[in-house]
């Protein structure tokens, strides 16, 4: 109780000191602030609309009977059915390619990220930079390089494995980077020394300490690899054969050769496949048992990705 | 809990990192069951020495590490059967308290029942029963420290290695845990190497202390030997507070600003300066004193008063007297130092 009056007195003193200028500010500042806030909201909403409206339109287009006559012509699932009957093979192919890509990037990218994080030599820094090259290069260029080198092996070139190779080249850095970031930030080296002091061999340490503690990075990497693989077009378009059409290649097909409603229905199919992955990506980013420490680590990862 | 004890012998162990010598060739014999403290400022090579014993580093060619009769120089840490407590504890965030303590037993493929029993025993010993199933992130600093210790002890190590285990804690907790640690180490009877830069910790825990500086051993001795008979200025200045008496020698007397100090012939031989501890000087009547000075500052510290006395020697003296003694600035005083309390250094 005794503290309150004195605090009040302090405030009085403050306000009397400020008072001479206060009337000016009160009339001028809030209104300017309001204008700025309104302007910010308008810009943000306009940007959102600019981005979201085409997506919504596309979804609507895929569900209307005749896009040119508008929604008034009625809604239908016919186009979706048509796309499914014609292109369900590419859905499964895309899933298979994504799974295979994930398997390869897990098997190679996780150890690579771990090794890069542990090694502090200049060579490892160079390797880290080189890994990102396929992301910096246009996909067409990487694809061309693959075709020039492996195009002659026709059985390989005709198979979906060829596309997997392309996807691995493109997605590997997205696995290596987050894994390396987690490994570097969580002081894995000391944890490993601790495990070693308790008698754990290298493999035991890797599976009981390194992998569980690198999990946030691995999950982030895995989801990135899956989404990128499913959506990859540039490379795949160059690498695909009529028998190995993935989802985005099929999408380009439908847009190029069929009516717009079919192409839009295809977009819906695409949404249905990738949205759960994107949601999972966000969800795993936050909801992990050891919330506090993981959050810190995840923050580390996102910084890292930003810097890419 | 009682553990077996073996001696540790380091022979000509040196360590070079990328061309930089961090540890000069060093010989060290640690007795079975002894608690040896490696003490020194950061960068003195004490942690490197510990890591050589642990097997986290290998000595430069020619160095040898033995546990008892076993030459373990080339064995990696996972095969040395050591228990180690790291400065930041290195607890596994993916395991709970029980999982951390039982990790070493699991690696050794100890049967689940035995492991559970051992973990329970350690939880009880470390008063961690209430926290057994918590993730380590939820523990306080002191609890983490006890988990780290329990984890290191669970597989019954041959040697216990502690790398600044109390440094990460706040001062009050550190003082409390130092006592507990002391009791525990005596009870375990395991050969222990304890690294610290804190002299109070070293004094309390070490049966012998190895004072290191700049990659070399400065002195090895019991806490009393290190304190009262430091081998060099580096040791003397690192441990406690020391007053320097500089002056000219004549007839076995060291003549300085405020008078002279009488030293034994043994001390006078080869020594250039004398030193003494703040608590070893007594104040006497200045009229009859051999060494006189003036109070420059008086600080009341509760159980004692620390005086700064100027004019007696080129450097001001710190002298500790009983807390009840009050002396104003400028008071002339006489200083008497018992001959056996004088420390002579070259």
Looking at residue A285, its pLDDT comes to 58
Question: What mean pLDDT do residues B121-125 have?
Answer: 91
Q: Does residue A301 have a pLDDT over 70?
A: no
pLDDT in tens, A184-231: 887 888 899 999 999 999 999 999 999 998 888 898 899 889 888 988
Q: What pLDDT digit, counting tens, does each position of A63-90 carry? A: 887 777 777 777 788 788 888 888 888 8
pLDDT digits (tens, 9 = 90+) for A131-177: 888 888 888 888 888 888 888 888 888 888 888 999 999 999 999 99
Interchain proximity A190–B88, CB inside 8 Å: yes
pLDDT at A241 over 90: no
Residue B163 has pLDDT above 90, yes or no: yes
CA B220, B226, B228, B229 dihedral sign is: positive
Q: What is the pLDDT of residue B268?
A: 66
pLDDT at A249: 84
Question: So what's the pLDDT on residue A30?
Answer: 67
* Mean of pLDDT over chain B: 89
Question: Quick one: A78-307 is in which CATH superfamily?
Answer: MetI-like (1.10.3720.10)
Q: Where are the domains of chain A?
A: 22-76, 78-307
- Chain B residues lying within 8 Å of A290, measured CB to CB: 93-94, 135, 137
Torsion A10-A16-A18-A23 (CA) sign:
positive
Beta pairing partners, B305: B300, B321
Distance, in Å, from the CA atom of B223 to the CA atom of B230, rounded to the nearest integer, reads 10
Is B90–A186 a contact, with Cβ atoms under 8 angstroms apart? no
pLDDT tens, position by position, B208-267: 999 998 899 999 999 999 998 888 888 887 888 889 888 888 877 888 888 888 877 666
Q: Please give the residue of chain A at the shortest CA–CA distance from B157.
A: A198
Interface touch B88/A187, C-beta < 8 Å: yes
CB neighbourhood size of B276 (10 A)? 21
Domain ranges of chain B: 8-238, 244-345
- Output the pLDDT for position B64: 92
Return d(Cα B209, Cα B45) in angstroms, integer: 14
B83 strand-pairing partners: B160
Fold topology of B244-345: OB fold (Dihydrolipoamide Acetyltransferase, E2P) (2.40.50)
Q: Could you count the other beta carbons within 10 Å of the beta carbon of residue A37?
A: 10
User: CB count, 10 Å around CB of B9?
Assistant: 16
**Threshold 0.80, pTM exceeds:** no
Q: Which of residues 182-201 of A touch B (CB under 8 A)?
A: 186-187, 190-191, 193-201
ipTM of the complex: 0.83
**Yes or no, beta carbons of A293 and B93 under 8 Å apart:** yes
Pick the CATH number of B8-238 from 3.40.50.11720, 3.30.230.10, 3.40.50.300, 3.40.50.880: 3.40.50.300
Contact B90 A193 (CB under 8 A): yes
Mean pLDDT of chain A: 79
pLDDT reported for residue A29: 59
- Closest Cβ–Cβ partner in A195, A201, A290 for B93: A290
pLDDT digits (tens, 9 = 90+) for A12-47: 444 444 444 444 545 555 688 888 999 999 999 999
- Of the partner residues A187, A197, A212, the one whose CB lies closest to the CB of residue B77: A197
Which of A187, A193, A200 lies nearest to residue B56, judging by beta carbons? A193
Write down how long chain A is: 308
pLDDT of residue A206: 92
End-to-end, the C-alpha distance of chain A in Å comes to: 56
Q: Distance from B82 to chain A by nearest Cα, in Å?
A: 6
Tell me what pLDDT residue A58 has.
Answer: 82
Q: What is the pLDDT of residue A297?
A: 43
Which of B84, B90, B154 comes nearest A191 by C-beta? B90
Q: Does the pLDDT of residue A257 top 80, yes or no?
A: no
The rounded distance, in Å, linking the Cα atoms of A17 and A111 is: 64
Chain A, nearest residue to B85 by Cα: A194
Reported as a single tens digit per residue, the pLDDT across A273-287 is 888 877 877 777 544
């Amino acid at each position: 109780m005794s503290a309150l009056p004195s605090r009040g007195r302090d405030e009085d003193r403050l306000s009397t000191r400020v008072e001479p200028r206060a009337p000016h500010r009160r009339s001028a500042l809030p209104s300017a602030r309001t204008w700025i806030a309104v302007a910010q909201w308008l810009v943000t909403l306009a940007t959102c609309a600019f981005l979201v409206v085409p997506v919504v339109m596309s979804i609507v287009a895929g569900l209307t009977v005749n896009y040119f006559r508008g929604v008034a012509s009625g809604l239908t699932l016919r186009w979706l059915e048509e796309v499914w009957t014609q292109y369900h093979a590419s859905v499964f192919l895309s899933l298979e390619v994504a799974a295979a890509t994930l398997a390869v990037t897990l098997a190679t990218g996780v150890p690579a990220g771990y090794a890069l994080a542990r090694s502090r030599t200049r060579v490892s820094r160079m390797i880290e930079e080189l890994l990102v090259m396929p992301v910096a290069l246009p996909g067409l260029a990487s694809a061309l390089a693959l075709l020039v080198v492996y195009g002659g092996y026709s059985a390989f070139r005709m198979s979906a494995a060829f596309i997997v190779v392309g996807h691995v080249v493109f997605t590997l850095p997205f696995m290596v980077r987050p894994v390396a970031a987690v490994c570097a930030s969580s002081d894995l080296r000391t944890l490993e020394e601790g495990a070693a002091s308790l008698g754990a061999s290298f493999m035991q340490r890797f599976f009981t300490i390194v992998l569980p503690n690198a999990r946030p990075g691995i999950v982030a990497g895995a989801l990135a690899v899956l989404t990128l693989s499913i959506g990859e077009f540039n490379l795949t378009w160059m690498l695909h054969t009529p028998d190995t059409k993935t989802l985005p290649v099929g999408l380009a097909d439908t847009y190029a050769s069929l009516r717009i409603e079919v192409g839009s229905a295809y977009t819906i199919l695409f949404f249905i496949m990738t949205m759960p992955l994107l949601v999972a990506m966000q969800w795993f980013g936050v909801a992990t048992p050891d919330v506090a420490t993981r959050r810190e680590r995840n923050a580390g990862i996102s910084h890292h990705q930003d810097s890419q | 809990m009682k553990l077996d004890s073996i001696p540790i012998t380091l022979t000509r162990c040196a360590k070079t990192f990328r061309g930089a010598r961090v540890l000069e060739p060093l010989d060290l014999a640690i007795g079975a069951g002894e608690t040896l403290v490696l003490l020194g400022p950061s960068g003195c090579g004490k942690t490197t020495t510990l890591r050589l014993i642990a097997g986290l580093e290998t000595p430069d060619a020619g160095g040898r590490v033995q546990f008892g009769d076993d030459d373990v120089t080339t064995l990696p840490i996972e095969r040395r059967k050591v228990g180690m407590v790291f400065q930041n504890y290195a607890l596994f965030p993916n395991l709970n308290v029980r999982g951390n303590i039982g990790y070493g037993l699991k690696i050794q493929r100890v049967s689940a029942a035995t492991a559970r029993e051992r973990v329970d025993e350690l939880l009880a010993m470390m008063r961690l029963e209430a926290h057994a199933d918590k993730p380590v992130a939820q523990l306080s600093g002191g609890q983490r420290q006890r988990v780290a210790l329990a984890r290191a002890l669970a597989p019954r190590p041959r040697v216990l290695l502690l790398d600044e285990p109390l440094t990460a804690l706040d001062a009050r907790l550190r003082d409390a845990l130092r006592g507990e640690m002391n009791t525990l180490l005596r009870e375990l009877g395991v050969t222990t190497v304890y690294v610290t830069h804190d002299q109070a910790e070293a004094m309390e825990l070490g049966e012998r202390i190895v004072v290191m500086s700049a990659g070399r051993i400065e002195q090895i001795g019991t806490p009393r030997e290190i304190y009262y008979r430091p081998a060099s200025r580096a040791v003397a200045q690192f441990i406690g507070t020391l007053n320097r008496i500089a002056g000219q020698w004549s007839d076995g007397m060291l003549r300085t600003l405020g008078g002279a100090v009488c030293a034994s012939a043994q001390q006078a031989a080869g020594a250039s300066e004398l030193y003494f501890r703040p608590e070893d000087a007594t104040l006497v009547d200045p009229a009859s004193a051999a060494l006189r000075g003036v109070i420059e500052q008086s600080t009341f510290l509760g159980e004692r008063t620390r005086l700064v006395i100027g004019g007696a020697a080129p450097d001001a003296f710190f002298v500790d007297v009983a807390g009840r003694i009050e002396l104003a600035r400028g008071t002339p005083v006489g200083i008497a130092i018992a001959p056996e309390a004088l420390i002579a250094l070259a």
